[in-house]
């Protein structure tokens, strides 16, 4: 159904198949091990970079693959069907880090901060959230004070995906607290050359455990003014624009998780017997399968539609906030629905670490939380439809 509305070119099929083969051959054998240990999968992430997966939409002149948004969505979906941890590392690199610099960075910033990350030789991260500032970014407590050709940063950021290992980070902090959201500015930070930059505690997470997440701390950290992304006060606009792209990435991650849960359930329902028949023949199981499949296809169309809107925005400059919020909301709740149904269909085996179903369940939950909770997505969608600012 989706192929008729969003026909795939040979290039689209090529990157989808390459990602599928890589995920099956390179990630699947190690996914459970890295989930259990919580270690960062350096080797496979490096290989993903070499294959062009870490900067899919970035032009080749800046180290990327020079492909379109649908290519990115297709590749990310395949990676996440096997392991959402690898997927979120890829998503943050592409959507939250590379996209922001491509859209708002200077030529010098693109050469210095974009090229190494898009080419897969370095890892990028995005830091907006703080311990007491999540959805309400205007209440952030971190500060950046101008001092000649530098800014001096102080404060604590939290839940930074790839924070423990990132080479470069886009950081959002207050330069004028009196203006709240309009007083936020964005900075590009080279973590290898930032005295006063400290990596804080690593978060012990329920899911996506192989993706490293931590606090970062600034203690009189001096950042060159040349590293400011955009103008002073542009930070909130940059953050929200970047999150439009990020939500397409998380929607794609959620779609991959949902598909994995669904495919495992179909296979199990065809094999497992109870009361003299395959459990898939019972209406209770069959209806779950039907609901999972329907939600997955609806989520896919919303994500592809958002990807098309993002592609159009490259020419028109129009925001695609509504499309990305709807895609992220529905896909993330579909992932949770499908993962929950998969555990139920598998019964006791669904609760065991012997099968990946319980990992799908743990990984699915975060898609309803990060890069804008489901509640925030409903807020964004409803206000857009009611014409409210």
Strands (E), 89-241: 124-127, 143-147, 150-161, 168-174, 184-190, 197-202, 213-224, 228-229
Give the pair of three-digit tokens for residue 97.
């880090």
Rounded alpha-carbon distances, angstroms, from residue 380 to 49, 184, 252, 322, 383? 34, 20, 19, 7, 5
User: Nearest to residue 248, comparing CAs of 126, 113, 95?
Assistant: 95
Residue 157: which of 193, 198, 194 has the closest Cα? 198
Q: Which two tokens stand for residue 45?
A: 């992430």
What whole-number distance in Å separates Cα of residue 64 and Cα of residue 68?
Answer: 11
Joined tokens for residue 220: 């009189």
**What do you get for the CA distance between the two ends of the chain, in Å?**
36
Annotated catalytic residue: which of 281, 311, 371, 375?
Answer: 371
Active site annotation includes 371 = yes
Q: Give one DSSP letter per residue of 15-29, joined into a string.
A: HHHHHHHHIIIIITT
3-class DSSP assignment, residue 185: strand
Q: Which residues pair with 133 in a beta bridge?
A: 130
Which residue numbers are catalytic? 371
């Amino acid at each position: 159904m989706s192929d008729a509305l969003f026909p795939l070119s040979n290039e689209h099929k090529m990157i989808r198949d390459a990602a599928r083969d890589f995920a099956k051959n390179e990630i699947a054998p190690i996914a459970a091990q890295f989930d259990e240990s919580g270690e960062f999968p350096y080797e496979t992430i490096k290989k993903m970079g070499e294959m062009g997966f870490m900067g899919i939409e970035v032009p080749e002149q800046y180290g990327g693959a020079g492909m379109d948004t649908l290519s990115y969505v297709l590749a990310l979906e395949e990676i996440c069907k096997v392991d959402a941890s690898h997927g979120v590392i890829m998503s943050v690199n592409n959507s939250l880090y590379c996209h922001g610099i491509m859209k708002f960075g200077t030529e010098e910033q693109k050469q210095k901060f974009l090229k190494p990350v898009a080419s897969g030789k370095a890892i990028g991260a995005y830091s907006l959230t703080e311990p007491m500032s999540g959805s309400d970014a205007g209440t952030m407590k971190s500060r950046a004070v101008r001092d000649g050709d530098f800014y001096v940063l102080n404060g604590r950021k939290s839940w930074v995906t790839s924070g423990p290992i990132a080479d470069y980070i886009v950081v959002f902090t207050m330069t004028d607290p009196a203006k709240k959201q309009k007083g936020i500015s964005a900075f590009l930070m080279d973590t290898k050359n930032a005295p006063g930059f400290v990596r804080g505690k690593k978060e012990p997470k329920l899911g996506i455990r192989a993706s490293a997440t931590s606090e970062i701390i600034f203690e009189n950290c001096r950042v060159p003014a040349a590293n400011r992304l955009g103008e002073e006060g542009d930070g909130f606009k940059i953050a929200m624009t970047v999150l439009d792209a990020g939500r397409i990435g998380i929607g794609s991650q959620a779609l991959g998780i949902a598909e994995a849960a669904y495919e495992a359930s179909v296979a199990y329902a065809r094999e497992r017997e109870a009361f003299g028949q395959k459990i898939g023949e019972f209406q209770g199981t069959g209806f779950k399968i039907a609901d999972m499949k329907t939600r997955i296809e609806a989520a896919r169309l919303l994500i592809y539609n958002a990807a098309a809107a993002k592609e159009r925005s490259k020419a028109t400059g129009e925001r695609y906030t509504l499309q990305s919020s709807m895609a992220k909301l529905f896909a993330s709740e579909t992932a949770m629905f499908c993962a929950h149904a998969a555990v139920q269909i598998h019964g006791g085996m669904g609760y065991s670490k012997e099968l990946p179903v319980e990992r799908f369940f743990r990984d699915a939950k975060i898609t309803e939380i990060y890069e804008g909770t489901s509640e925030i997505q409903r807020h964004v969608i409803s206000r857009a439809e009611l014409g409210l600012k």
